Amino acid sequence: MRSDDTEPGIDRAWYETDLGTYLLRRERAFFDAEVADLFGFHALQLGLPECNFLEANRMPCRAVAGAHGDVDTAVDFCELPFATQSVDLVVLPHTLESSPNPHQVLREVQRVLMPEGHVVVSGFNPWSLWGAARLLRRGHGEFPWDNQFIPLLRLKDWMALLGFEVAAGRMAAYAPPCRAEKWLHRWRFMEFAGDRWWPFAGGLYFLHGIKRVRGTRLITPRWSKAATRRKALAAVPNRIAGRSPRARGDETCD
Angle at 16 between CA 14 and CA 22, to 5 degrees: 90
Q: Is residue 237 part of a domain?
A: no
Which CATH number is 156's domain given? Answer: 3.40.50.150
Q: Is residue 129 part of a domain?
A: yes
> What was the pLDDT predicted at 241?
54
Boundaries of domain holding 53: 12-211
> What was the pLDDT predicted at 224?
54
> What was the pLDDT predicted at 59?
96
Q: Is residue 233 part of a domain?
A: no
Q: Is residue 232 part of a domain?
A: no
**Under-70 pLDDT residues of the chain:** 1-11, 139-141, 187, 189, 192-195, 197-198, 215-254
> What was the pLDDT predicted at 239?
57
Q: Return the HEC string of the chain.
A: CCCCCCCCCCCHHHHHCHHHHHHHHHHHHHHHHHHCCCCCCEEEEECCCCCCCCCCCCCCEEEEEECCCCCCEECECCECCCCCCCEEEEEEECCCCCCCCHHHHHHHHHHHEEEEEEEEEEEECCCCHHHHHHHHHCCCCCCCCCCCCCCHHHHHHHHHHCCEEEEEEEEECCCCCCCCHHHHHHCCHHHHHHHHHCCCCCCEEEEEEEECCCCCCCCCCCCCCCCCCCCCCCCCCCCECCECCCCHHHCCCC
pTM: 0.76
> How many distinct structural domains can be found in the chain?
1
Q: Is residue 244 part of a domain?
A: no
Q: Is residue 131 part of a domain?
A: yes
> What was the pLDDT predicted at 222?
63
